[in-house]
Structure 1
Amino acid sequence: MERVVSIAIVLLAVSAADATYYCPIPEENFKTTLSSKEYKRGFPIGSKVKFYCSEGYELFGSEASQCTADGWNPPTPICFLQVTCTGRGGIRDGSVSPSKGPYFAGDEITYSCETGFKLIGAKTDICQNSGEWKEEKKPFCRAVTCKRLRAPPKGFADSEYSAYFPGEEIKFSCQKGYRITGSRKNKCGRDGKWIYESTPKCIEDEVSCPTPRTPVNGGIEPEKSKYFAGDEITFFCGSDSYLNGTFFDECLENGKWRYDERLACIRTTCLGADLSEYSDWRPKRRKYFVGDKVEVECEDGYSTSDDNQVVCRSNGNWSKLPRCKKVVCYIPKPPAGGYVLPVIGYKLPGQRVRYFCDEGYKLIGRDHNVCTKAGFWKYDNDETPTCVEQDRCRFRTAPEKGDVSPRQRSYRVGQKIKLSCEDKYYLDGPAENVCEEGGEWKYRWTPKCRKYCVFERDEVDDENIVHSAIQRRFEYKAEIHFKCKRSTLLVGDDYVKCGEDGVWEKKIPKCVPVCYRPTVQNGKLLDDKSLKDVFVEGDTAEISCDDGFRPKTAGKVTCLSGGEWDMEEFCISNKQRCSEKEVRNGGARPKEPWYEPGASVRYFCHIGHILTHGDGSNVCMSDGTWKFPVPNCRGHSTTSFCAGRCGRRSDYRRYPCQCNITCRWFKNCCSDFAETCPGSGN
């Protein structure tokens, strides 16, 4: 069965100078998973390829290779067929699972028999790494049989085989002068048991039959002088022949034999089924007579070590059957300065080996060989490849502030060197170079050792600045970006760049506190299209207040160092407050130093005084004046005061404060009632 090998390919960066060089696509069983047209000619230098084998194949050689100017390095591997086992076909009256090959090393097969047969031999077999089966012989199926039954005393059984197959019958008879009691017949069941467990008995009787005829080249069982009615006899032949008629007879009650045939033993034949272990034999028949010759053939990959002709012998068996041995080619000798893969072992017909050269050598000739069906390598010693030494590359100068390893006067083709730099420097270019065919280095220019730019985090003392640096050292053209935290403004460029000499090209910026454009309650900033949204310390902004409001200061606010404006309330109301007015011999409730427009107060007088005018209430106007003139309190006699204030229950609405004998039930009783109205009776 044909197998193919899939290749997974990873293409690395390829310089423009190498783009015109290609490595050939691997031949024969190889194919790529790429469909791009640009790789139909081959793979560009620098391409890396990883190889995988299909199921049933083994990979020999490196699983990865890279395209160089000298071709694939290391050489492309090959995929060999895995070890297989053959010579295990089906079995007669049975089956094998799995039934289809090929069988590889480690595969296991299981044998089973049809109903009525049992397996003789190992039930399972395993294909080993040597290509041979674990069991030397494969099993076969034998029919289920019943055990041997012996004839009764003074009696006979028509057969006394060591075993009987299901469905076969045995008949019993007695000697002359005896008759049988019990069943004359018994039958072997499918389960390997007789239908009747006991054999019949022979009792004495007077009727007998004449002596029976013995088959030519055969015999009679049992053999005795007299056979009585009911007796049964069995005719038998040698192991190399068979009977040409009925194999038993019975003495009847009339004194005659039931069949009384003239019998003879004819030699047996050899069976073609005994040759089933071979893939074919000729001529092909089911049966062969004594002396017939047959030529046998082995399966592909096997051959007979002896004569492949067998003869049917007189005993019904074949002469010595030749053994089929696996055809193999042992691993050939490697060329000087090279090696062969695989290194040891052997290969089956159709399988290959590959030739390789050591580093510094080049293969001249065919890089593979094939095992033939005859067990020889297809290409003989005259076509064995050779390995010749390749050109060498000159000493490679180390870069300034750097080193090269190993240091040699010259290098062989395929040898690699490594470049490195001193501390505080890094390599700007490939760190590895390889000597290619023709004595030229893969990279013909020497990379430079550049100095790192160093960024010390502790040098950034501004707690409001944030940077993108996650390491301390940076290479040429590397950048660090900066930004500020909220309420601060970045002053300077937002990044620095590493220069060629290891010095930062720009200075680290700073973050300064800022005031954001204020939101003015009851006002707004002056309408100026150039007005900015962010202000630094010392910047001012002019404010315009809404109608009915005025600036709290001169109309300007200033950004302070902490990022705050110098005043939180910018616009205040134009409305004025009323001041507290002194009431002689009295007061006002509530008592406040200032009253907002619309606020109400109520005046009161001390004991013995009354208001000079008004009902005692007043309201603060929006212009900062009181609605009514503020009254004073003047003195009055007790009598007239009480007369003016004390009255009946029904007239309490007349005065702001009522006092009478029932004042305890009113909420507006005078607090000075007991003192000012002593005659009231309370």
Structure 2
Amino acid sequence: MSLKLALLVLAAVICTVYATGSSSSGLSYSYIANRPCYVKRISYGSHDSESAYIYNGDDVTYTCNSGYQIKGSAKVQCRSFGRFSAPSCVKIPGCSRPSNSHFPVGMQYSPSKPRYNTYEKLWLSCVDGYSLKVRSSSDESIRCLPSGKFENVRAYCVPKCRALGDLENGSFDLDKDKYDVGDEVTYECDAGYELEGESVLTCLKSGKFDHDKPECIPELCPTPATIDNGFFNDEQDNYPVSTEITYGCDQGFELVGTSDLRCEIGGVWSDDFPFCEEILCATIPIDNGSFDPDQDSVVVGQDVTYECDEGFVLDGEKTLVCQAYGQFDEEAPECVPIRCEFPGEIDNGSTDSENDLYDVGQTVTYSCDKGYDLDGEATLTCQNDGKFTPDKPECNPIVCPSPVEPKNGRIKGKRTTYRPNNKIWFFCDAGFELEGKKDLTCLSSGNWNSEFPTCVPSGCPHPTAPSNGYITGTKPSYKAGDKIWFKCNAGFSLVGKKDFTCLKNNIWNGKFPICKEIPSGCKAPPGVKYASYWPRRSSYSVGASVTYKCYRNYVLIGSDDITCGNGGSWAPGSQKCVRTTSCFGRCYKYVKGARCDCDIGCKSRGTCCRDFYGICH
């Protein structure tokens, strides 16, 4: 059917509607007058309507792409009989912002804005590290042409050479952050160092110097001489100026010459290398005795052993050792006539004599004070070797053995040692009672007057709170019928029985529970058919929320948002998406705040859904 014929038919229908109140096809005048408008698309632009159709009185706003402007009204309203007139987008005169590819490397321009007028200029410059090169001053800018494009760039940017940094142990003559093409830098080293590399570097057009930066390496001294029976510290691969070394000798040798040497400028050592000589100790003869080995001297570390003739005894060290400084570690001993020295007094006791010296065969007798007992022989005799035998005895106090603290109990009156007449008292912890004598006394025989008592249970044992938990209903002691309850701290759950009762046989009626940590956070939320959620992650922390959204033509029943709670559970639940084949899901019966119906009577009540004619009719 041609457009002209369609318009004639439409006009006839409208006239019939005006005359009769209805069309020949059964459509009412109200329906035709309020039919929806098709939202047209426009070239180089877009509109803000989410639907392809809008209804009488609704409006749509059009916008144009960058470089275009609206021709006509930007906001268009749907009028009666589906009348709708969309605007168009026309190109704006001038140039848009040029792309970076329009300019050579290192170049920038100003001003920077989205649009430029015809013949407006962009002024060219180079970024830091480059310098602008032009043939004439006119090359310093480009213009926006009537064609809507900028002129070609005729200038270019030449890179500068970056500073190579300080020269360690040296210096250079031209210090800049950036160097122009042709700049020369001359390097030289401090005293004691020599230059390795080129001394003069030139900046090239490539933005790099013609050679790498040189280095100042130290002047070196020859490797120090190795000496027999000696050494020097700080051995290394090379020895630069100012290096110091110290020579030393092995045990039994001494250094001849200077021990400390230094590498001087010019690569020479400050003195000749030393050498090591062996150290000897001269032996010392004694009267009424001899020594071994029988020679005039010995080397460092060698022993000399002395012994006396018969009837004499050594006074001093028997063995002397030659030391690194050429002397023995002790003075030479003497051989004196054999006599026994007084063996000494004893604590808490006495002797029958206290002479300084005793002849062979003489005796010394010991006895103990009251309250002490002699440990060893009472009488000692002076022997031919100048010593008393047997060993000197000791007087030990008469003491009772240390008491053993009872399990589940304690002792009062404890001390380091227990002498005769000392007393101790025994007590039991809550829930236990004493079996045996309560107080004991240390006797003069060194024994207690009774066996140590024990603590036996007087009820159920005291319960121990679980790790990360606690107990309610605790008491100092527990008798048959007493109850306790176990609980866990926040973030932990009880594994096992919660409440316990003390039985008549003094045991609890079960095994105590433990507190297990509740996992923190949640896994992915439950999926809802015909819906997606956001944000999507593999795990979520406590307190995190996700939002469900149904697919097109579906509506969500239940809460949009759910939250991760303690224990790894999501709440609230029971979400589902139902298909919107009618006004179901958008009527007041199903969605809070909705005020629409979708039945035959909604037309007379004026409560039809907004899209009633498009979906329900």
Taking structure 2 as the reference length, what is the TM-score of the superposition? Answer: 0.29
Rg larger in structure? 1
- Bigger relative contact order, structure 1 or 2 (CA pairs below 8 A, ≥6 apart): 1
Q: TM-score, normalised by structure 1?
A: 0.27
